[in-house]
Amino acid sequence: MNGWIILDKPLGLGSTQAVGAVKRVCREAGLGKVKVGHGGTLDPLASGVLPIALGEATKLCGRMLDASKIYAFTIAFGTETDGLDAEGEVVASSDVRPTLAEVEAVLPRFTGAIEQVPPAYSAIKIDGQRAYDLARKGEAVEMKARSVTIFSLRHAGLDPASMAAPAEWTPDQVR
């Protein structure tokens, strides 16, 4: 069996667990031992598309990891957490909310070739362990800046013709 399964990975499931589940289903279906891999690692607290490779397709997994990707995300203004995610402990809060124009004005600063420091709650390995595992154990995790290229950044869900309204964003408008 060769090919791809495109998994809409739910919260709580790790990438390795997803691969294990596919292997188990293949065995239970009588397919024998099928080589299975994935084309990207998602934190168990992240949801989204996880490409699962079967058989000969596993030879492409490395290329998938290094390929350009498209991300959709939601931003909520007003709190900062220790993990820079929705699951962390709140460490700061503010009633200040940027206007749409203010957010659009800073987007160019985050496009092009930039240096990015991944959050401690990322799937990047440090000394053979996932950073998110170390961070969740309470260990200090020092993440090094990485060069990335952001080709474009845009907001979704708002009609560009009506950019003047609303003056303030609500969390469900920012994606």
Residues tagged active-site: 43
Residue 168 half-sphere exposure, CB side, CA atoms within 13 Å? Answer: 8
Cα(148)–Cα(141) distance, integer angstroms: 20
84 neighbors 121 (Cβ within 8 angstroms): yes
The sign of the dihedral angle between the CA atoms of 113, 115, 121, 122 is positive
146 neighbors 113 (Cβ within 8 angstroms): no
DSSP-assigned states of every residue in 54-69 = EGGGGGGHHHHHHS--
Cα(57)–Cα(1) distance, integer angstroms: 9
Backbone angles phi, psi at 76, to 5 degrees: -120, 130
